[in-house]
Chains A and B, each alone.
Chain A
Amino acid sequence: MSSHFITGTDFTAFLAGLIKEKKVVGPVAKTSRQQEKFVFAQLERAEDLRLDHDVTILPPKKEFFPTQQDLVRFDGPRREGCVAPEEKVLFGVHFYDVKALDMTDLLFKERNDDRNYTARREAATVVIANVQKVSPRAFWATVGREVQPQGHDAWLTRVTGGYVLEARTPKGEALLKYGKFSAATPAHSESARQANAEPKCPEHLNGDSVTNARKVRAAFAKEDLWKKLAEDCFSCGSCNTVCPTCYCFDVQDWWNVDQKSGARTRYWDACLTEDFAKISLGAGATENFRESRGERFRHRFMRKAAYLNEKLGGPACVGCGRCSAACTADIADPTAVINNIPEA
């Protein structure tokens, strides 16, 4: 690991140089309903990068697990897999989103390595940027504190007069050649440490991960509780869609107009939607293994707070607050739900 400093002016030139050489994806502004929001998009110009973003609408997982992704293409009897590693630099990711990437990295790799995800992931360079502005629904300071972000190559922090870049892997070191970096002084490093320690979250999750996992799991049988919590649920799946750790998908085949070729494609799916666990039994009969809104709502909370903890070392939630903000009925907020479940 090595620590470097770059001035504000040189930083813009560094980024411009990087963009010229590589595909760089980072947070950029997007105005939606007169509100400034942020999305991860390919950078055309260095000036477009918004390191002062609070949170992006969709998490960066879409770079490795696109909203729709061909798995197999066909043309008559010929078939071809679509594993497509693409070199890119994911620049300016908040640490909580990297924690989420660590989780999807593990989950796509374990048991049957899904190269459609992992090959893309391995081909990427990930640069964390410190959180300069906190989103109104964030609670990342109080969730899964025992888990540190792993899957990144460099960590960029804004300090007075410029940026400190800590290169943490050879891929991170390789970025240095694009800019006029100097060795960071102890004062720079101290400023960076302070900048990363500074932000406070508006929302708080009470209790530690182990206690929360236990009490959420223990509340499974409280049918009335889940029914009540999900009373206003539209089963729209927005909470799943914006979640950085959700990775469920549907697979659909489609044809080109030639009726000869086409593809098998996966699309993001959501366990809150009504048909997610439904099967056909024949003769028009069906069985839905999570038929009620309460059951589906509960499943999401079990997934986020309890089921995966052992495997991931902490909850499958990083406190980004996207679900809280995306939920039309505003019932998805993990702090509101988990804090109100009494201890087992």
Chain B
Amino acid sequence: MPATTPCRCATPNSAQDQKENIFLPREATIIRLEKTTEMERIFTLRLADGSQMKFEPGQILEVGLMGYGEIPLGLASSPTRTNTFDIVVRSVGRVSQAINTLGKGDTLLIRGPWGHGFPLENLRGHDLLIIAGGIGLCPTRSLIQYTLDRRQEFKRFILFYGARDPQQQLFTSDLADWRKSKDVDYHETVDKSDPTWKGNVGVITTLFSKTKIDPGTRVVICGPPIMFKFVIRELDKLGIPHENVFVDLERRMKCGVGKCGHCQMNDKYVCTDGPVFAFSEIERLEEAI
């Protein structure tokens, strides 16, 4: 390193310590970029060293740029698809705004994947209902794609998606596919309509009247904190046991490796114990939902 960089290390790193440093990020190249709403962009990435990224649907990455920082993001594509992976970045702060200035061919730095994703073993062989609200569609898209790619492993596949208004809908080309698809029973709603919208208007729980849901269905929920309570109330009415309900939670996962404490809810670290939890596991936790 040049002399301008202050070196606070007493002794240089050993190669082994470099390798084992859980804070040292890897490079990922931006293969494709798509502006999906005014605030969000979809990044398709590939590891710069050409290797395949190994992950499970629902796991998180710490994504960042040196000099700016890192943000936790759910992987938004399925590991069943090629050797690329998607993330969605919403411009809200210093890091996400810096990331959203990047273009195709630029490099992003990633750490992970971290945490526990969706319990595929538990979901397979059953009806599956995914309920995604707002930006909650991003991490659940990894499971949606996975389910569509391995359709025969699941029974009925139902998907509810709610957005604030039609302009806020993410992955619009996916939505167009899902509307037509016979592989998924897709229902969508917006909280607030506009003249272009012909579909359902209302909160996401209004979609429960649109289709029949069996009590044996496995359910995955991801959305704004307020959404969970209302959705679970509906699931209770349907008699779906809480051990079959899986929630994907958002917290301030600063380090991603279960150390920094920011994402803690009661005694759980969302980044390492989650971000996906069985609802039965966390309903006794006062700070969870």
Of the candidates A220, A247, A282, the one whose C-beta lies within 8 Å of that of B286 is: A220
* Contacts A72-B24, A112-B22, A280-B92 given; does A252 touch B69 at CB 8 Å: yes
Which residues on A sit within 8 Å (CB–CB) of B11?
84-86
Complex alpha-carbon distance, A208 and B13, angstroms:
44
Q: Within the assembled complex, what's the spacing in Å between the Cα atoms of A80 and B21?
A: 10
> Does A271 have its Cβ within 8 Å of any Cβ on chain B?
yes
User: Quick one: which of B14, B21, B109 contacts A71, CB cutoff 8 A?
Assistant: B21
Decide: B266 and A84 in contact? CB cutoff 8 A.
no
Among residues of B, the one whose C-beta sits closest to the C-beta of A82 is B9
Q: Within the assembled complex, what's the spacing in Å between the Cα atoms of A69 and B107?
A: 25
With an 8 A cutoff between CB atoms, is A79 at the interface?
Answer: yes
Of listed B8, B68, B225, B261, residue having the most chain A CB within 10 A: B261
B interface SS class: loop
CB-nearest residue of chain A relative to B7? Answer: A73
Chain B: CB-nearest residue to A283: B39
Range for the number of chain B residues in contact with chain A = 35 or more
Residue numbers in A under 8 Å from B93 (CB-CB): 280
Q: Does B17 contact A (CB under 8 A)?
A: yes
Instruction: Say whether A289 faces chain B, with CB atoms less than 8 Å apart.
Output: yes
Query: Which residues of B (101-120) have their CB < 8 Å from a CB of A?
Result: 107, 109
CB-defined contacts of A110 to chain B, threshold 8 Å: 258
Are B24 and A116 neighbours in the complex by a CB distance under 8 Å? Answer: no
B68 touches A253 (CB 8 A): yes
Residue of A nearest to B268 (CB): A307
Q: Which of B1-50 contact A (CB under 8 A)?
A: 1-2, 4-11, 13-14, 17-18, 20-25, 39
Whether a CB of chain B sits under 8 angstroms from the CB of A264 is yes
Do B259 and A249 have beta carbons less than 8 Å apart? yes
| B132 nearest CB across to chain A (Å) | 16
- Bound together, the chains give a CA A290 to CA B261 distance in angstroms of 13
CB of B5 within 8 A of CB of A279, answer no
B86 within 8 A of partner (CB) = no
Which of chain B's residues have a CB closer than 8 A to the CB of A77?
107
Q: Decide if A229 is an interface residue (CB 8 Å cutoff).
A: no
Cross-chain contact A256 with B260 (CB below 8 angstroms): no
Partner pick for A116 among B10, B21, B272, CB 8 A cutoff: B21
B265 at the interface (CB under 8 A from A): yes
Which residues on the A side are within 8 Å of B109 (C-beta)?
Answer: 79
Among residues of A, the one whose C-beta sits closest to the C-beta of B65 is A253
Chain A residue contacts of B39, Cβ below 8 A:
282-283
- Which residue in chain B gives the minimum CB-CB distance to A256? B4
B260 touches A84 (CB 8 A): no
Residue A330 interfacial (CB < 8 Å): no
Residues of A235-262 whose CB lies within 8 A of B? 247-256, 258, 260-262
Q: Does A269 contact B (CB under 8 A)?
A: yes
Q: Is the CB of B67 within 8 A of A279?
A: no
Q: Which of B13, B254, B265, B272 contacts A289 (CB 8 A)?
A: B265
A residues apposed to B, CB below 8 Å: 69-75, 77-86, 107-108, 110-116, 119, 220-221, 247-256, 258, 260-264, 266, 269, 271, 276-283, 287, 289-290, 295, 299, 302, 306-308
B→A interface (CB under 8 Å): 1-2, 4-11, 13-14, 17-18, 20-25, 39, 64, 66-70, 90-93, 107, 109, 135, 224-225, 250-252, 254-255, 257-267, 272, 286-287
**12 intermolecular pairs with C-beta atoms under 8 Å apart:** A75-B4, A79-B25, A115-B21, A115-B22, A221-B286, A248-B261, A277-B264, A278-B252, A279-B250, A279-B252, A281-B92, A302-B267
With contacts A83-B13, A112-B272 known, what are 4 further pairs, Cβ within 8 A? A75-B2, A255-B67, A282-B91, A283-B92
